[in-house]
Amino acid sequence: MIIRDFNELINTDRTVADAKWKSVRMLLADDGMGFSFHITVIEAGSEHTFHYKHHFESVYCISGKGAITDLANGETHQIKPGVMYALDAHDKHTLVAEEQLVLACCFNPPVTGTEVHREDGSYAPASTDA
């Protein structure tokens, strides 16, 4: 059994961050669960375009307010506590935080922890050689 506390991990190397976004990696590929699980905080007023070409991701809003736009069709959906979006078609999307968003995110395949967002908003595919 693995026990981890977001509040203990937030200032460790399990947190990936830039000025407008941080993500605490609660579970990564090497935990052997077959998915990874992250708590991600998006700062108020920020906008992010992501495109996970090689991963499925679900995102559940724990707190905050924002919107997600599906760039394939231009549809925008409100994000508030209790709303989940799932990128079942590797959907390219833009996420806007009107208030700080706290999100519970699951990735399949699991993120290894070394990925960075590339210029196209994606993570590299899972690899067996790294």
Residue ranges in contact with its own copies by CB under 8 A: 1-7, 26-27, 31-35, 37, 39, 56, 58, 60, 62, 68, 70, 77, 82-89, 91, 93, 104, 106, 108-109
Q: Which residue, 108 or 122, is less far from its own copies as judged by CB?
A: 108
Q: Which residue, 91 or 115, is less far from its own copies as judged by CB?
A: 91
| Exposure b/e, 76-110, CB count within 10 A at least 16 = b | eeebeeeeebebeeebbbbbbbeeebbbebbbeeb
CB of 10 to its own copies, least distance (A): 9
Q: Which residue, 78 or 114, is less far from its own copies as judged by CB?
A: 78
CB of 82 to its own copies, least distance (A): 4
Give the gyration radius of the chain's Cα atoms: 14
Other CB atoms within 10 Å distance of the CB of residue 42: 23
CB of 93 to its own copies, least distance (A): 7
The Cα–Cα gap between 72 and 39 comes to: 26
Q: Which residue, 56 or 99, is less far from its own copies as judged by CB?
A: 56
The Cα–Cα gap between 10 and 68 comes to: 25
Q: Which residue in the block uniquely carries the two structure tokens 């050689």? A: 129
